[in-house]
Structure 1
Amino acid sequence: MAGYDFKSESEVKDFINNLGIEYRFGCYSEKKPEVCHLLGDYLESIKKDYDKAGKVYKTNCDDYKYGKSCLKYGTYCLLGKGGIKEDFPVAYNYLETGCKNNEADACFNQGLLLVTDNEKRGINMDILKGMELLKKGCEGKNANACYYLSGMYISGVKTAKGKRTQATAKENGEFLSKPNMKLAHQYALEGCKLGNIFSCANVSQMYAKGDGVEKNEELAAKFKKITLEMQEEMESNKTLKFQEGLQ
């Protein structure tokens, strides 16, 4: 990189083209899964060639079980992106492979497919399995997984919501999963630590009300301040993005 003048348009173009050559060599000649994924990202983000990017992600998942590529191809299937027809069952399979190969974002998306109603798209609801996947996603540092899991423990999950696919699950009264404010606080706190603003807001409210944790006005104020600071930062970033013309 030191040899390029990034103020020169021609040198920037040369750098980008050489980057593509390096990624292709590392992927196809040296057969490095991490470089294949970088090639996919290069084709997607720089070349805007979603068809080729999708093929690279798919092959990298099929051949090497590279979690990040499985996640990307699964997402393409969910969105019908890159010339791929929307296909939730295929997407689910790729997300599952990604999750099994320690890609936390894949666990989150796979879990989300199971805890929401996607039967018309070919996915049977399975709340308990979905919650386990969200748990794995949270443990893998996916903030959204922590937030969603916390929300499910706040409200609980009624058996009727999953009755069509939970025939073999042990029913717990009227709830498939009872409300558990202690776990709700635990996952909300983890989500906040990972940067989820809604988790931080919930943690503040829990400390203020003493829900799932001992009431503590000082900590309630602390997490409220964190939430407001995160909100200000988000607003600032939106303004900066607009002013720089990066939309």
Structure 2
Amino acid sequence: MNCFDMKYGDSCFKYGVFKLFGKEGVPRDPLAAYQAFEFGCKSTDHGKSCQGAGRLIAEGLVSHSPSLTPAIPMFERGCHFGLAESCFHLGGASITLANRMEKAREKSKGQDSPSSLRKKAFDAWSKGCELGHELCCRNVARMYSVGDGIPVNESKADEFRHLAEKIASDRLRVDTEIAASTKA
């Protein structure tokens, strides 16, 4: 198989998708999907495979218990490899864990502190925004607006809001052009 034998990342991702959703001749098997995604992420540095593995961990399809902490390294790798969606999920997982820790007022050994998780969220969403992910830009704007882990800075918040609007309007323009060209 190209994924495991040839270490071809695109094949790992495609095989993982086939195993996750099933396909004619390929029975559905979420654990096998995770194994393909994880292999693709760790052995071939394939960002989409990292994202797939992280999502399966976070949603509990691997262990039958949703867990953000073990999903974070997968999202970090996907973000590192330039996948904006992984940056978005890394930021979301980090901010969720920070909020949970603050509610529980605890810091377990080996875990990041709420402030370091907030910084991780900010950094991930900033990178995702640079990669063109609208919601990452909106999340950075929100963090600046309310001072969530960073100092309040309304001018920076406005800058990221405008960037999010530009990304959204550019996407709408492209979608409109595509729709118009398919009707012609």
TM-score by length of 2: 0.83
Deviations 1:140-175 (A, max 9, x none): 11111111111122222748xxxxxxxxxxx836xx
Q: Structure 1 residues 224 and 115, CA, compared in 2 at 3 Å: closer, same or farther?
A: same
Displacement of 1:102: 0.7
Q: Report the counterpart of residue 226 of structure 1 in structure 2.
A: 163
Runs of 4+ in 1 over 6 A off after TM superposition: none
Segment of structure 1 superposing worse, 150-159 or 214-223: 150-159
1:139 aligned residue (74, 77, 80): 80
Distance 1:83 1:236 in 2: 39
The answer to whether structure 1 residue 96 and structure 2 residue 69 are counterparts is: no
Deviations 1:44-91 (A, max 9, x none): xxxxxxxxxxxxxxx211320111211111111112134312111111
1:69-108 correspondence to structure 2 within 5 Å: 69-100=11-42, 101-108=44-51
Contact 2:53 2:74 in 1 (8 A): yes
Deviations 1:184-238 (A, max 9, x none): 2111101111111100001111122222222222211111111001111121122
Contact 1:150 1:185 in 2 (8 A): yes
Asked which structure has the greater RCO (Cα within 8 Å, sep 6+), the reply is 2
Q: Report the counterpart of residue 61 of structure 1 in structure 2.
A: 3
Contact 1:135 1:145 in 2 (8 A): yes
Displacement of 1:130: 1.2
The answer to whether structure 1 residue 188 and structure 2 residue 129 are counterparts is: no
Contact 1:182 1:211 in 2 (8 A): no
Larger Rg: 1
Displacement of 1:178: 5.5
Segment of structure 1 superposing worse, 79-88 or 144-153: 79-88
Contact 2:75 2:86 in 1 (8 A): yes
Contact 2:20 2:29 in 1 (8 A): yes
Structure 2's unaligned 5+ residue stretches are none
The one-letter code matched in structure 1 to 2:107 is N
Displacement of 1:124: 5.3
Deviations 1:90-137 (A, max 9, x none): 111111110122111101110111111326xx6554532211111111
TM-score by length of 1: 0.63
Q: Structure 1 residues 178 and 118, CA, compared in 2 at 3 Å: closer, same or farther?
A: farther
Contact 1:182 1:212 in 2 (8 A): yes
Q: Report the counterpart of residue 172 of structure 1 in structure 2.
A: 107
Q: Structure 1 residues 82 and 149, CA, compared in 2 at 3 Å: closer, same or farther?
A: same
Identity of aligned residues (%): 31
Q: Report the counterpart of residue 137 of structure 2 in structure 1.
A: 200
RMSD after superposition: 2.3
3-state SS of paired residue (1:156): helix
2:54 aligned residue (98, 111, 125): 111
Distance 1:141 1:205 in 2: 23
1:217 aligned residue (151, 154, 177): 154
